[in-house]
Amino acid sequence: ELPGLSDKTVKAIASEYVVNADIVIREVVDEEQLIDVFMGNRVYVPGFVVINKIDLVGDRVLSEVKRKVASKGWMPVVVSALKGEGVEEVKAAIFSHLKLIRVYLRPQGGEPDYSQPMILREGDVVGVVCRRLHRDFEKRFRYALVWGDSVKYPGQKVGLDHVLFDEDVVTIVIER
């Protein structure tokens, strides 16, 4: 008998996922954790709260809603699409919570295209950029030149396994 979970509760949850089993629980778990173990494939994705249409309510109501959301452990982003308020904050929250980065591509001998960043996940490497550009680029890869916070000096020569940072500029050099 564990605190919070009775034998009856464990049996009820287990009956949804398994037919016959001996179950040994060696630590205190709640129902959610037990279900997660049985499901095995549950994935928690990052999220955040957006409070929309703030132009329709007064400051007092908005403050109360923000306080209630914050009391649950969330830091809400407030937005009025009609007035265009908070839109940049929503964009920043998306990048932050989903752990996305922007990488700018620079053709050999050319200038970087800052208008069209390649969106990657935090921790992605130069090899991911190669695969996104063309299926043969990774096989034909010679080296990459990188400008930005991920390198010690501008235009540093790196390999496929170099981890890129937000707003790095990358030139891919391949064999002809």
pLDDT tens sequence across 41-78: 566 677 889 999 998 998 999 999 999 999 988 889 99
- 133: domain CATH number is 3.10.20.30
Per-residue model confidence (pLDDT) at position 44:
66
Residues 62 and 93 in one domain: yes
Q: Is the pLDDT of residue 12 over 90?
A: no
Residues 108 and 92 in one domain: no
Residue 107: which domain range? 100-174
Residues 125 and 149 in one domain: yes
Residues 20 and 54 in one domain: no
Is position 23 within any domain? yes
Per-residue model confidence (pLDDT) at position 119:
96
Give the global pTM.
0.65
- What share of the chain in percent tops pLDDT 70? 95
Residue 30 banded pLDDT, cuts 50, 70, 90:
confident
- Which letter, b or e, does each residue of 23-57 get, where b requires 16 or more Cβ atoms within 10 Å of its Cβ? eeeeeebeeeebeeeeeeeeeeeeeeeebeebeee
Residues 65 and 80 in one domain: yes
19 class by beta-carbon count within 10 Å (0-12 exposed, 13-18 middle, 19+ buried): exposed
pLDDT digits 0-9 by tens, 130-146: 999 998 999 999 999 99
Q: Is the C-alpha dihedral spanning 43, 48, 50, 51 positive or negative?
A: positive
Domain total of the chain: 3
Is position 44 within any domain? no
Per-residue model confidence (pLDDT) at position 144:
97
3-state secondary structure of 125: strand
- Count of other CB atoms within 10 angstroms of residue 92: 11
